[in-house]
Amino acid sequence: MNIRSIILPVIALTLGLPLSATADGFRDALDTPARQSPFAAKTLLNGVTNAGHRVVAVGQRGHIVYSDDAGKSWQQAQVPVSSDLVAVSFPTPAKGWAVGHDGIVLHSADGGATWARQLDGRGAGKIMTDFYAAQAAKGNLGAPEAAAALIDEAGRIAAQGAENPFLDVWFADENNGFIVGAFNLIFRTADGGKTWEPWYHRTANPNRLHFYAMRQVGNSLYLVGEQGSVQKLDAGGGRFVALETGYRGTFFGVTGSDGAVIVHGLRGHAFRSLDGGASWQKIETGLQDGVTGSSVCGEGRIVLVSQAGRMLLSDNSGASFRPVKLEQAVPASAVACLGRDVSVIAGARGVRAQAIQ
């Protein structure tokens, strides 16, 4: 699937201009800074997170907005690209990362007010080809056939350029983090994004399925994606290993607290594990639409949001959920809690604060 060829026509139609030209000729989204707009906080936003007391949300055309008053007002950040952004992570109040289409990885050192490019799809492929060629030369990739397959796959991805998106980002601290995305793309950094190491060969994903979300729950790191894929990092072995929920639909997210891990996805499906993923129990959400976002709001308190704009609340670490009365049901893609009783929801109509009652 050529994701880049889908996104660019949508942007061109939205602007009312031909794909091949703008007022001054065609410019790639990777080379075009995001336009400042008074409506940036009211257009499609895909990801939202806390940066200390600040809230940061990311979305289409490189829009990044932030609020210092719990979502009452928003300011637009300075962003060097206009690629659609999908996810954001701030391990500290100052330092954060955002990822999205065109393989873009952005970094902020000032709480999300300004951003700089760290990586894009044009460079990610070269990192992969160089890395796997070097590892093969050292004999670190196993049998020659396996090494050759990895080198060929890296070359194919490099030839695609900026076609493939990164769909989530997670950082443990200001140095250590992962970016994950389409077709088994996964990179790790140990120096805050100055360098990236491919982990393409360190997943249980032979069919190159998309990865949609990564989160740490307790002391374990989980990765979820297409066709029921749930994986957990084996820190000792340095690779992700598959877990079995019994469900074959796509998972969009993972969350949890107090020893409970929750994965959620298509058609209201959600599952909970109390033993680190060894066994799972289905959660009755009462939803028929996709559960797209989740957040922990305090000890034992978890919220889920859905594509149809519904919100569910659990006060018992996900053992059960109940509907939350909303001021307005708007399609949601992500949610971040601001304490126990207030959240910020991002989605098709921008970002807004929502009481949790």
CA distance 157 to 130: 12
Q: How many CB atoms lie within 10 A of CB 171?
A: 21
Q: What's the chain's average pLDDT?
A: 92
- Closest by CA to 57, choosing from 37, 71, 69, is 71
Averaged over 191-196, what is the pLDDT? 98
Are 276 and 220 within 8 A, CB to CB?
yes
What φ, ψ does residue 262 adopt, rounded to 5°? Answer: -125, 130
Q: What is the pLDDT of residues 201-244, one digit of tens each?
A: 999 999 999 999 999 999 999 999 999 999 999 999 999 999 99
Model's pTM, two decimal places?
A: 0.92
Q: What is the pLDDT of residue 6?
A: 33
By percentage, how much of the chain surpasses pLDDT 90? 90
Q: What is the pLDDT of residues 79-125, one digit of tens each?
A: 999 999 999 999 999 999 999 999 999 999 999 999 999 999 999 99
Helix or strand (DSSP H, E) at 342? strand 342-347
**Helix, strand, coil percentages, rounded to 5, for the chain:** 20, 40, 40
Q: What is the pLDDT of residue 120?
A: 98
Amino acid (one-letter) located at 352: R
Which tokens hold the place of 39? 């409506």
Among the residue ranges 23-27, 65-69, 343-347, the one predicted with the least confidence is 23-27
* Structural domains of the chain ordered from first start: 3-355 (2.130.10.10)
CA distance 83 to 29: 5
CA distance 316 to 337: 16
Helix or strand (DSSP H, E) at 201? none
**Is the CA virtual torsion 198, 199, 201, 207 positive or negative?**
negative
Helix or strand (DSSP H, E) at 223? strand 220-225
- Closest by CA to 311, choosing from 289, 280, 282, is 289
CA distance 170 to 90: 8
| Close Cβ partners of 47 (under 8 Å, ≥ 6 residues apart) | 57, 58, 59, 85, 86, 87, 88, 98, 333, 334, 346
CA distance 63 to 77: 7
Q: What is the pLDDT of residues 138-193, one digit of tens each?
A: 999 999 999 999 999 999 999 999 999 999 999 999 999 999 999 999 999 999 99
pLDDT band of 328, cuts 50, 70, 90:
confident
Q: What is the pLDDT of residues 32-72, one digit of tens each?
A: 999 999 999 999 999 999 999 999 999 999 999 999 999 99
Give the number of C-alpha atoms closer than 13 A to the C-alpha of residue 283, restricted to the C-beta side.
29
Cα→Cα distances 313→172, 189, 320, 352, Å: 26, 34, 8, 18
pLDDT band of 24, cuts 50, 70, 90:
low
Strands 270-273 and 260-265: antiparallel
Which tokens hold the place of 97? 């990362």
Statement: residue 25 has pLDDT above 80: no
CA distance 163 to 30: 12
Statement: residue 27 has pLDDT above 70: yes
Which tokens hold the place of 115? 């951003």
Q: What is the pLDDT of residue 21?
A: 39
Specify the 3-state DSSP secondary structure of 357: coil
Statement: residue 1 has pLDDT above 70: no
The radius of gyration of the chain from alpha carbons, rounded to an integer in Å, stands at 20
Averaged over 314-321, what is the pLDDT? 97
By percentage, how much of the chain surpasses pLDDT 70? 93
